[in-house]
Amino acid sequence: MDHIKNKITSEEKYRILVKIGLALTAERNSDKLLELIVKEARNLSNADGGTLYLLDDDKQNLNFKILQNDSMKLSVINAEDTEAHFPPIPLSLDNKPNFTNVASYVALKNEVVDIPDVYKATNFDFTGPKRYDAQSGYHSKSMLVVPLKDQNNQVLGVLQLINAMDSQSGEIITFDCAYTEVITSLASQAAMALINMNLLEELRTLLYSFMKSIATAIDEKSPFTGGHIKRVKILTMMIAKAVNDSPAEPFSNINFSEEELEEIRLAAWMHDVGKIAVPEHIIDKETKLQTIFERFEYIETRFKLISQLLENNFLRQKAELLGSGQSEHEALKNPEQKFSQQIEELNNDLMFVKTCNCGTEFMTDDKIERLEQIAAKTYSLEGRTYPYLQKDELDNLCIRKGTLCPQERMVIENHTTVTWKILSQLSFPKNIANIPEFACGHHERLDGSGYHLKLSADKISLQVRIMAIADIFEALTAKDRPYRQPMKLSKALEILDYMQKDGHIDGDILDLFITTNLYSEYAAKEMFTEQIDI
């Protein structure tokens, strides 16, 4: 914007402020917004330089944010190494208001200060600017310091403009008081833009914190799967960023924006929110017979009872034979041998049931047939006959893989439906409106055999495909699962390869995951050393 001439009409003022106001409200990046504020203020006043300070949360200090200076060719934005040159300006010194510094004075008094020549000013301490001039060769002269105020007239920060320049001669001149009102109006617009951006950021932070807290609560439900959601989020973002960085097909033209990455990140945090409705004894089911308690203890007690009944029967036979006049040796020979065989067989059956209960090995047809034979055996008590194993016990022990029966697996799988019910009721902003879809789709398979919607490949988005691989890999390599030993890295990658060949997961994403060594990077941080065999 050209330097404003000697006069400015109300119409020109309105037009300028509207234009600047639109630019300020359109900016979404906080650093760029602050930079734009200083830039437009300098354009309005034709100032050579400008500095912006914002009040800290405790309202005790003005913190440096932006520095611009054309002559010095400087543009500093929130630089971490600027503290030595631009330390915070305290609003009080020795428990008294700091009126010696012009910026703190403006913040405290909430008024504009216009200084024609800082070297002739006596009201403020300009030791700092003068020292900087001596070191850099710059010459500070005219200065206009304006407070940034909100709608309640509360100061948010201070805008400091240095060296108004004559547009014709290029000489340093004083700031024209005719434009102070315009600069003040700009400062007010800037303050409102900051408030709006801070409010949006606070709402975003609140939403993010809420989601993280829910995810943490779900992980904390289970002592065996704590950290699963966090690790899936880490893996998901690693893969998403690798997609962005990949120059090869099919990802060369894909570049997730910052908002899209945030959408993926939040969806990963929320992907298991539906597990809040899954009973803990199903999530934590360590053995096949475990429900709210471990039912194998019932079987152990039952087998002890059977052993006692067998012993009682043996002793009864022994007494009857001895009572018939047979010698003890002759009487005990056959019953004792039979009793020993029965007890040995009973103990072997119990150990086999205990092994089947673990769920760490695949149940073959032979194992299931033996379980059925054990369950078919009966014992009698008080005139009634009972099986060695109840039907529900047999059904659970015959689970071929893992510890969940079909009914329990349905409850687990239903967590994606519950996740959808929860997330679809939240009014997400348009820029992250796909969170429910992404979060609920991580168990879908490209061949349509997944859940909960059984989507076909053309209906499964790239974001969902990424999260699916992250979820599977984390589950395979997790070192905190109660029903199996931590899986070796090579075995996990082998299973992923089988799954992509079977049309369950995206082969291109898996190739990227492997060729970029993301699996190795993740393993180094999240797996036991003994798991990493490649």
Q: Based on the domain organization, do 154 and 23 belong to the same domain? A: yes
Q: 202 — phi, psi (to 5°)?
A: -65, -40
Residue 209, in any domain of the structure = no
Q: Please identify which residue in the block is written with the tokens 């007010």.
A: 188
Q: Looking at the DSSP assignment, which residues form a beta bridge with residue 147?
A: 158
Q: Which two tokens stand for residue 498?
A: 């089988």
What's residue 42's pLDDT?
87
Please report whether residue 251 resides in a domain: yes
Contact 225, 233 (CB under 8 A): no
From CA 358, how far away is CA 280, in angstroms rounded?
A: 18
Phi-psi region of 110 (alpha: psi -120 to 50; beta: other; left: phi over 0): left
DSSP code of residue 176: P
Q: Of 101, 108, 90, 109, whose CA–CA distance to 143 is shortest?
A: 101
- What are the percentages of helix, strand and coil residues in the chain, rounded to 5? 55, 10, 35
Residue 422 falls inside a structural domain: yes
In one-letter notation, the amino acid at residue 95 is: N
Instruction: Give how many domains the chain has, as a whole number.
Output: 3
Measured CA to CA, the distance from residue 156 to residue 40 in angstroms comes to 18
The pLDDT assigned to 2 comes to: 43
Same domain for 31 and 125: yes
Region of residue 170 (phi > 0: left; psi between -120 and 50: alpha; otherwise: beta)? left
Task: Quote the strand ranges of 295-401, DSSP E.
Answer: 378-381, 384-387
**Helices then strands (H, E): number in the chain?**
19, 12
Would residue 205 count as lying in a domain? no
Among 378, 402, 426, which residue terminates a domain?
A: 402
Residue 79: count other Cβ atoms within 10 Å of its Cβ: 14
Tell me if 129 sits within 8 A of 101, measured CB to CB: no
Same domain, 25 and 144: yes
Asked if 414 and 396 sit in the same domain, the reply is no
> Is residue 58 within a helix (H) or strand (E), and if so which, with residue range?
none
C-alpha 386/C-alpha 248 separation (Å) is 66
Q: At 316, which helix (H) or strand (E)?
A: helix 296-323
pLDDT in tens, 257-294: 999 999 999 999 999 988 888 888 887 788 898 888 88
Structural domain ending residue among the three candidates 353, 376, 402: 402
Instruction: Indicate whether 217 belongs to any domain.
Output: no
Provide the token pair at 243.
């997609």
Beta strands in 166-292 (DSSP E): 172-173
75 in Cβ contact with 68 (< 8 Å)? yes
- 162 shares a domain with 271: no
- Residue 260's domain is classified under what CATH number? 1.10.3210.10
Q: Give the pLDDT score at 8.
A: 54
- Which pLDDT score is estimated for 171? 92
Contacts of residue 454, defined as CB under 8 A and 6 or more positions apart, other chains included, come to: 444, 448
Buried b (16+ CB within 10 A) or exposed e, 393-427: bbebbbbeeebbbeebeeebbbbbebbbebbeeee
* CATH code of the domain in which 180 resides: 3.30.450.40
| Pairing assessment for the beta strands 143-149 and 61-69 based on DSSP bridges | unpaired
Residues 396 and 414 in one domain: no
Tokens of 17: 């402020």
- Residue whose entry in the numeric block shows the structure tokens 């989020």: 233
- The answer to whether residue 274 is domain-embedded is yes
Tens-digit pLDDT profile for residues 74-113 = 888 875 544 446 789 999 998 999 999 999 999 999 999 9
454: phi then psi, degrees, rounded to nearest 5: 55, 50
pLDDT of 217 reads 78
Same domain, 308 and 334: yes
**CA distance linking residue 393 with residue 303, whole number of Å:** 14
**Which residues in the chain come in under a pLDDT of 70?**
1-28, 79-85, 222-226, 322-333, 482-483
464 plus 524 within the same structural domain: yes
**513 shares a domain with 369:** no
Q: Which of 364, 380, 402 is the last residue of a domain?
A: 402
Domain membership flag for residue 98: yes
Element (H, E) at 324: none
Same domain flag for 130 and 275: no
Name the burial class of residue 509, with classes exposed (0-12), middle (13-18) and buried (19+) by CB atoms within 10 angstroms of its CB: buried
Shared-domain flag, residues 238 and 155: no
Q: Which domain holds residue 332?
A: 296-402
Write down the pLDDT at residue 310: 92
For tokens 């405290």, name the residue: 108
The predicted-structure confidence for 437-476, as pLDDT tens digits, reads as follows: 999 999 999 999 999 899 999 999 999 999 999 999 999 9
Give the amino acid at 188: S
Q: Are residues 172 and 272 in the same domain?
A: no
Establish if 1 belongs to a structural domain. Answer: no
